[in-house]
Chain A
Amino acid sequence: MPVKPVHLAAHFPGVNNTTVWSDPASGSQIDFASFAHLARTAERGKFDFLFLAEGLRLRELKGRIHNLDVAGRPESLTVLSALSAVTARLGLAATVNSTFNEPYEVARRLATLDHLSEGRAAWNVVTSWDEFTGENFRRGGYLDEADRYGRAAEFLHTARELWDSWAPGDLVTDPGAGVFARPGSGAFAHRGRQFDIAGRFNVPRGPQGHPVIIQAGDSPQGREFAAADADVIFSRHGTLEDGRAFYKDVKSRLARYGRRRDELKIMPAVTYVLGDNEADAAERAAEIRRRQVGPQTAIAYLEGHWGRDLSAYDPDGPLPDVEPDLGEGVSQGRAQFRGDRGETVRRWRALAAERGLTIRELVIEATGRQTFVGTPASVADQIDTFVQTDAADGFVFVPHLTPGGLDDLVEHVVPLLQEKGVFRADYTGPTLRDHLGLQAPRTPRAARTPRKVS
């Protein structure tokens, strides 16, 4: 069996406690130089793409702005467009919310990025339902949670109609003949439950036809959405066993949409720590975890799950005996406290009792442990094993430091993957679709909006 190629992506450090800001090597989360550093590092490592997340409202805890984690980030597409000037091949992936945007604008901004970057644009389609974020938008947060995948699917479908409204060749630009564009270029009409729009799209077809579509959702609806219409799916399954189960499930969904197994790439988000030997790496990993979960952050985590003020508790003491308040909760703007909090509290108490852990030790143990910890050789082996045994097609690496957090991965691990022959030694094509081994999108000309020709 031929080896599967590994795909690699770089995640700009997030606005959460994975990102360590107290380290002396921690730089600005907003200066363009930080983005340029990470993008250039990723391109030096021949990564498929750089990824930017999005959150359209600052997180809150107990009704006040969360002040313990890194906060503040730019608008994704704007900074990616600027990054296209300092990179030549790296894919550029933006998270853009389908709840607080309109298809016409999102489609034209992504098509613009695809033109300006010469075919390197990608869109991570996310949905939001919360009125909390909606308070920042004139349309508000009206969406029912049940409707969110319906809206996302129709939003993406509509965007594809807009990208297809200019066919290859519609842009003529023949000064002698005096023809700039073919008649009817950009004509579209979409009548659906979420959107009822018609007119003329004003960006010609981009180099990739359609940008690469990314979906990050683990629910059955999210998996189905990805199987139907995405090119890449992010997951959080960072163990071999979970990864294989997810991989098998998602890939098995593709056939019913007439898609081949290699038309959707599965890329878990992962963290890593390198050391000179295994013990050194483990020690570094533990130190990073201590920095990620400071005393105040440990209490904040507990408050998120308990749904009440626990500021009087000692982070170096035992877990609170007070029962959780399972009502509305105290955390806003974070997905992770939306699950079954009662169940989490029971599990954490059991773990703490069994191991004799303090609050801080418990949170360090129970949240966000690094995926890959080891020497460059062992991490390269783990990456290769995940991919060759169908637990992933590649990974989105989430560094804990801005902006140098992937420097050692690119310097020490990528060459080993290249030596194994499982990762490209250089880019083989200009577009992100080329990097991911994806074909051009189908453009059923016959299915296009009938054109009015004058």
Chain B
Amino acid sequence: MTGLHLSAALNDAGWHPAAWRDPAARPAGLFTARYWTDLATEAERGLLDFVTIDDSLGLQSSGPTVPDDRTDQVRGRLDAVLVAARIAPATERIGLVPATITTHTEPFHVAIGIASLDHASRGRAGWQPRVGARLSDAAHFGRRAFPDLDRPWSATAEGAALGAELFGEAGDVVEVVRRLWDSWEDDAEIRDAATGRFLDRDKVHYIDFEGARFSVRGPSITPRPPQGQPLVTALACGVRSYEFAARGADVVFVTPRSRADAFAVVAQIREAERTVRRSGEPLRILADLVVFLDEAPGAAVSRKARLDDLDGAPLDSDAEIFTGTPGELADLLLDWRNAGLDGFRLRPGVLPSDLAGITRGLVPVLQERGAFRTGYQAATLRGHLGLARPANRYAAT
């Protein structure tokens, strides 16, 4: 049996909006380097493939489209790429996958930021491109007007059109970023004293991307990252985002609500791969689960219920919510994986305690069952996922 791939999604104080009020939380640390390096170190202790670090270009909100005025939930968030960079020298093996918002951030800046993270981490960088559809976030930039939707944008015709536009743009951004990563061949730097040349300019390439929305000339200012192509991930639910992932990502995060649903989602992902004529490695499919883990039977349920009470509503999530013991979670993961999942991205309900539930509870159980690595086998993030270092698209073969 090949091992599962496991990652942890790091987000504020955890995925429950009241997580910061849990006795085990560290709310005063949310904006410190120590908090984030402790989390990443714990994840590395559990031999996880990678951590994702969420980001947004506006305040968190309990509503789907606009900020609220709640003061009883976490508000404020550090830039994820910089958090990942701060973690890099403090860790050795774990992959670091920050999110950026394709709707507002310049693709050139993203390309050099993730490439620089890959250099600083010696080949452990990934990237989660996300679209940002909030009207209120667009107003932070003042460069484009979005329709003022009072419902999640996917629920209206106008919102669906916006979604199509933003995913189309995100696809262009991924293409530009990938071309920029390849725009320096690995042996472009020659340091040839005889001719006085530092660079072989024939191995540094313009990318000349011309899209419907923007164009980018290139080349990058940053030499090709150690992994060649850092790992690209995407959270997807629905055909449009499955196809976006199938076009540009290496790993897709999906949100099945049951074992049967997992079978259906995997089939839809494979269909999306065929639709976009994906070549090369198939998508690695990781299912997202929000997890509350306690060794004592029933403890996780009542812990979550307390947080629900504090927040005034039961936790609402796009992903399935698991409450139980690490052993029960291991049973579920090993059952669901039969649907064709490569692994899971677990979203700890409360940080750092539910992360420790993964690394110190779940991981040993999976190891005992021969379903998870007992040591890192590779030095790079692509290596953890069993992905080779790709050839450069611009190199003469």
Interface residue ranges, A against B (CB under 8 Å): 21-22, 30-32, 36, 55-58, 64-65, 67-75, 77-79, 81-82, 84-86, 100-102, 104-105, 108-109, 112-113, 115-118, 135-139, 166, 171-173, 175, 178-186, 195-204, 294-297, 452-454
CB-defined contacts of A70 to chain B, threshold 8 Å: 198
CB-defined contacts of A67 to chain B, threshold 8 Å: 197-201
A81 near B139 with CB under 8 A, answer no
Let me know if B165 is at the binding interface, CB within 8 A: no
**Top 4 closest pairs, chain A to chain B, by CB:** A138-B214, A74-B116, A296-B196, A135-B217
Q: B89: which of A85, A135, A453 is its contact (CB, 8 Å)?
A: A85
A138 near B107 with CB under 8 A, answer yes
A32 near B89 with CB under 8 A, answer yes
Q: With A32-B119, A105-B104, A180-B27 in contact, is A74–B73 under 8 Å at CB?
A: no
Task: Sample 15 A-B pairs with CB under 8 A, ordered by A number.
Answer: A32-B89, A32-B120, A55-B221, A58-B221, A72-B221, A74-B112, A85-B37, A102-B143, A104-B140, A172-B71, A175-B20, A197-B140, A202-B76, A203-B31, A296-B196
Q: With A67-B198, A74-B119 in contact, is A204–B76 under 8 Å at CB?
A: yes
Q: With A82-B120, A175-B27, A199-B139 in contact, is A58–B81 under 8 Å at CB?
A: no
B196 near A185 with CB under 8 A, answer no
A55, A56, A65, A166: which has the most chain B beta carbons within 10 Å? A65
Q: B33: which of A85, A108, A136, A200 is its contact (CB, 8 Å)?
A: A85
Q: B71: which of A84, A136, A179 is its contact (CB, 8 Å)?
A: A179
B106 near A183 with CB under 8 A, answer no
A64 near B120 with CB under 8 A, answer no
> Whole-angstrom distance between the alpha carbons of A338 and B225 in the complex?
33
CB-defined contacts of B213 to chain A, threshold 8 Å: 138
> Whole-angstrom distance between the alpha carbons of A419 and B59 in the complex?
51
> Whole-angstrom distance between the alpha carbons of A108 and B100 in the complex?
13
Q: Please give me the residue from chain A that is nearest to B82 by CB atom.
A: A81
CB-defined contacts of B139 to chain A, threshold 8 Å: 197-199
Q: Please give me the residue from chain A that is nearest to B204 by CB atom.
A: A65
Q: B120: which of A79, A100, A139 is its contact (CB, 8 Å)?
A: A79
B20 near A173 with CB under 8 A, answer yes
Q: Please give me the residue from chain A that is nearest to B110 by CB atom.
A: A75
Q: Please give me the residue from chain B that is nearest to A31 by CB atom.
A: B119
CB-defined contacts of A85 to chain B, threshold 8 Å: 33, 37, 86-90
A136 near B113 with CB under 8 A, answer no
Q: With A104-B57, A203-B77 in contact, is A195–B120 under 8 Å at CB?
A: no
CB-defined contacts of A58 to chain B, threshold 8 Å: 204, 219, 221
Question: Chain B nearest CB: distance from A310 CB in Å?
Answer: 15
A185 near B75 with CB under 8 A, answer yes
> Whole-angstrom distance between the alpha carbons of A453 and B69 in the complex?
8
B116 near A78 with CB under 8 A, answer yes
Question: Chain A nearest CB: distance from B32 CB in Å?
Answer: 7
A199 near B89 with CB under 8 A, answer no
> Whole-angstrom distance between the alpha carbons of A172 and B136 in the complex?
24
* Docked complex: B198-252 residues within 8 A CB-CB of A: 198-201, 204, 213-219, 221-223
Q: With A30-B119, A82-B89 in contact, is A73–B221 under 8 Å at CB?
A: yes
A296 near B195 with CB under 8 A, answer yes
Question: Chain B nearest CB: distance from A203 CB in Å?
Answer: 6
CB-defined contacts of A178 to chain B, threshold 8 Å: 21, 72, 310
Q: B221: which of A56, A297, A452 is its contact (CB, 8 Å)?
A: A56
> Whole-angstrom distance between the alpha carbons of A32 and B118 in the complex?
10
> Whole-angstrom distance between the alpha carbons of A139 and B191 in the complex?
35
A-B contact count (CB 8 A): 228
Contacts beyond the supplied A81-B85, A108-B79: 9 A-B pairs with Cβ under 8 Å: A21-B198, A32-B119, A68-B196, A135-B216, A135-B217, A175-B25, A180-B74, A200-B58, A452-B69
Q: Please give me the residue from chain A that is nearest to B90 by CB atom.
A: A85
CB-defined contacts of B117 to chain A, threshold 8 Å: 78, 82
Interface residue ranges, B against A (CB under 8 Å): 20-22, 25, 27-28, 30-33, 37, 56-60, 67, 69, 71-79, 81-83, 85-90, 104-109, 112-113, 115-117, 119-120, 122, 136-137, 139-143, 184, 189, 191, 193, 195-201, 204, 213-219, 221-223, 310
Q: With A113-B82, A138-B213 in contact, is A202–B56 under 8 Å at CB?
A: yes
B32, B60, B107, B139: which has the most chain A beta carbons within 10 Å? B139
> Whole-angstrom distance between the alpha carbons of A64 and B203 in the complex?
12
Q: B222: which of A72, A166, A203, A295 is its contact (CB, 8 Å)?
A: A72
CB-defined contacts of A77 to chain B, threshold 8 Å: 82, 113
Q: A112: which of B83, B193, B201, B217 is its contact (CB, 8 Å)?
A: B83
> Whole-angstrom distance between the alpha carbons of A454 and B116 in the complex?
42
Q: B75: which of A36, A68, A69, A181 is its contact (CB, 8 Å)?
A: A181
B77, B116, B136, B139: which has the most chain A beta carbons within 10 Å? B116
CB-defined contacts of B87 to chain A, threshold 8 Å: 85
Q: Please give me the residue from chain B that is nearest to A100 by CB atom.
A: B106
CB-defined contacts of A454 to chain B, threshold 8 Å: 69
Q: A115: which of B31, B184, B198, B223 is its contact (CB, 8 Å)?
A: B31
CB-defined contacts of B201 to chain A, threshold 8 Å: 64-65, 67
> Whole-angstrom distance between the alpha carbons of A109 and B137 in the complex?
16
A79 near B85 with CB under 8 A, answer yes
Q: With A85-B33, A102-B141, A296-B196 in contact, is A57–B221 under 8 Å at CB?
A: yes
Q: B57: which of A30, A105, A138 is its contact (CB, 8 Å)?
A: A105
> Whole-angstrom distance between the alpha carbons of A198 and B139 in the complex?
6
Q: Please give me the residue from chain A that is nearest to B77 by CB atom.
A: A202
CB-defined contacts of B142 to chain A, threshold 8 Å: 195-197
> Whole-angstrom distance between the alpha carbons of A71 and B141 in the complex?
32
> Whole-angstrom distance between the alpha carbons of A77 and B76 in the complex?
19
CB-defined contacts of A179 to chain B, threshold 8 Å: 71-72
> Whole-angstrom distance between the alpha carbons of A100 and B72 in the complex?
36
> Whole-angstrom distance between the alpha carbons of A180 and B20 in the complex?
9
CB-defined contacts of B21 to chain A, threshold 8 Å: 175, 178
Question: Chain B nearest CB: distance from A451 CB in Å?
Answer: 10
CB-defined contacts of B75 to chain A, threshold 8 Å: 180-181, 185-186, 202
> Whole-angstrom distance between the alpha carbons of A65 and B205 in the complex?
9
B73 near A180 with CB under 8 A, answer yes
Q: A56: which of B108, B189, B214 is its contact (CB, 8 Å)?
A: B108
B112 near A109 with CB under 8 A, answer no
CB-defined contacts of A22 to chain B, threshold 8 Å: 191, 193
Q: Please give me the residue from chain B that is nearest to A64 by CB atom.
A: B201
Q: Please give me the residue from chain A that is nearest to B60 by CB atom.
A: A202
A137 near B200 with CB under 8 A, answer no
> Whole-angstrom distance between the alpha carbons of A325 and B318 in the complex?
64
Q: A200: which of B67, B88, B109, B197 is its contact (CB, 8 Å)?
A: B67
CB-defined contacts of A199 to chain B, threshold 8 Å: 58, 67, 136-137, 139-140
> Whole-angstrom distance between the alpha carbons of A81 and B81 in the complex?
9
B37, B75, B104: which has the most chain A beta carbons within 10 Å? B75
CB-defined contacts of A79 to chain B, threshold 8 Å: 85, 116, 119-120
